[in-house]
Amino acid sequence: MNRSLVECIPNFSEGRRFDVVEAIVKAMQQAAPIHVLDSSSDPDHNRTVVTFVGTPDAVEAAAYAGIRTAAEQIDMTQHSGEHPRLGAADVVPFVPIRDVSMDDCVAIARRLGQRVGDGLGIPVYLYEAAATHPERENLAKLRSATFQYEQLKDVISTDPARMPDFGPAVVGTAGATVIGARPPLVAFNVYLDTGDVSVAAQIARAVRHSSGGLRFVKAAGFLVEGQAQVSMNLTNYQKTPVHRVVEMIRREAARYGAMVTHSELIGLAPQEFFIEAARWHLQLDGFEPDQVLEYRIQQAEEEPVPLAEEEPPVPNEATRHLTALEALSPSPARFVNAVADGTPTPGGGAVAALAGALSAALAEMVARLTIGKKRYADVEETMSAIISAGGDLRQRLLRAIDEDIQAFDAVLEAYRLPKDDPDRQETIQAALVQAADVPLNVARLALDAMQLAEQVARQGNQNAASDAATAALMGLAAVEGAALNVRVNAVGLEDADLAARYQNDVTALVEHARAVRDTTVAAAEERAGIGA
């Protein structure tokens, strides 16, 4: 049975200190069982937008924890950024998603507002559907480029129109918080090929509804990294679709001799938002949503599948052991349980290979989090190459899990041969060589993954620097674990020269890996602002 779901999209006035953003998100996750779907930070706006979903009770509890932590971590007297703001936890809207009404979200907003005002001493304003005053339904009436934290601080105790719905009529270092309930909206920015912010401001004025533009569009002009930006909230993308907005911006920009260079989605958007844009641009007049493959699959999965009255028994000879890769799916717990089972395999070599695969996967993740971000445009080609290389390493290391198991099983089988078998010693030696070759390859691949981690730690998304460091640490565990397995198998080799080569190879790999670990962690700590 599906649970009731509410979406919450809090906007926090911090987009430069990743440790603060991480603390806020962690506090929300620890407060209640929610699913954080997205976290998007912008250093120019100095703002982070987090999107999470959960049951009504869970979302309410998590939102309170986020507001409390933001109030503790963010000092608005020291804050600056392009985006208008009133407080540390600036805006906290609730959106009905499944089996929840707008009235339910209004009730959440009002309960939370009272708790924040009474418990945290923060002035709270209710907006949109939760507003208690008609003039506060529109967020722009509460906060604008000309009325922000500094102006509110001066008048909150003297202007009746600025009296909060909850909490004291005094603004502290956490500022004020605006809490509400609304339908889904899409935060969408369009960039122009000019550094003249007045052009963006003129276009925003033409586009937004409040000054005679398109219905359900809120817009403002900003300068972001030297480029003019038309920043928008599309409050009803169904009635005013995004393609209409973009085309109007193109026409308005042409009046000033400017062009659109690219656009940007902040946070998440429903599938329908993208489908409607594709339908218009591709002129798919007869298109129906169920022509999307994933939609059709979802419909098929929701339909009951008829079962035979009696399933035939599974013959004994059809049973088989799961490979290690199969044991990892759908849950890693199956593989972990297999390691703990008390059988020789999967053992340390397989675990080392898995650690190496995780190292490559984390490097890939950081690279993917870097691509598409305007501040990292100059390294996008490098990040694309890292994604490709990391994917190849990850697959090869995952295959090495089973290769290690098979190699060790072959060693055991060789030692079980009768001692009077004339081929026994030769079989043992061949098995030992294979059992050394597999972890040696794992160590080399894991070191390659670590070097990708070092690169993303230096050049990748700063907000994921700790993930890059973790990739290096996992890679080092893989190299050292695999190297130990090489040494163990090399001890039994009769070919002393070959055994020495194995020893020398893994010694060099471990030394190199430790050096990469040190430089990667140092780079990550420096970029995350947590270095000594």
Distance from chain centroid for Cα 409: 39
Euclidean distance between the first and the last CA atom of the chain, given in angstroms as a whole number:
50
Tokens standing for 105? 């979200």
CA atoms within 13 A on the CB side of 284: 12
Cα 378 from Cα 375, distance rounded (Å): 8
Q: Which of 26, 20, 65, 62 is nearest to 43 (CA)?
A: 20
Cα 342 from Cα 223, distance rounded (Å): 62
3-state SS assignment for residue 495: coil
Tokens standing for 421? 């078998």
Peptide bond between residue 346 and the one before it cis (omega within 30 degrees of 0) = yes
3-state SS assignment for residue 43: coil
- Going from the C-alpha of 344 to that of each of 8, 340, 430, the distances in angstroms are 48, 10, 20
Q: Which of 520, 526, 508 is nearest to 475 (CA)?
A: 520
3-state SS assignment for residue 22: helix
Cβ atoms of 266 and 302 closer than 8 Å: no
CA atoms within 13 A on the CB side of 225: 11
- Going from the C-alpha of 378 to that of each of 54, 134, 223, 267, 372, the distances in angstroms are 37, 47, 19, 23, 11
> Do you know the residue count of the chain?
532
Helices and strands of the chain, counted as H and E runs: 16, 11
Cα 257 from Cα 270, distance rounded (Å): 33
Q: Which of these is catalytic: 35, 45, 79, 83?
A: 83
Cβ atoms of 520 and 468 closer than 8 Å: yes
Peptide bond between residue 330 and the one before it cis (omega within 30 degrees of 0) = yes
83 given a catalytic annotation = yes
Cα 253 from Cα 364, distance rounded (Å): 37
Cβ atoms of 232 and 218 closer than 8 Å: yes
Tokens standing for 509? 């790999």
SS3 breakdown of the chain: % helix, strand, coil, rounded to 5?
55, 15, 30
3-state SS assignment for residue 3: coil
Task: Give 470's contacts (C-beta < 8 A, 6+ positions apart).
Answer: 362
The dihedral sign for the CA sequence 168, 171, 172, 178 = positive
Active site residues per annotation? 83
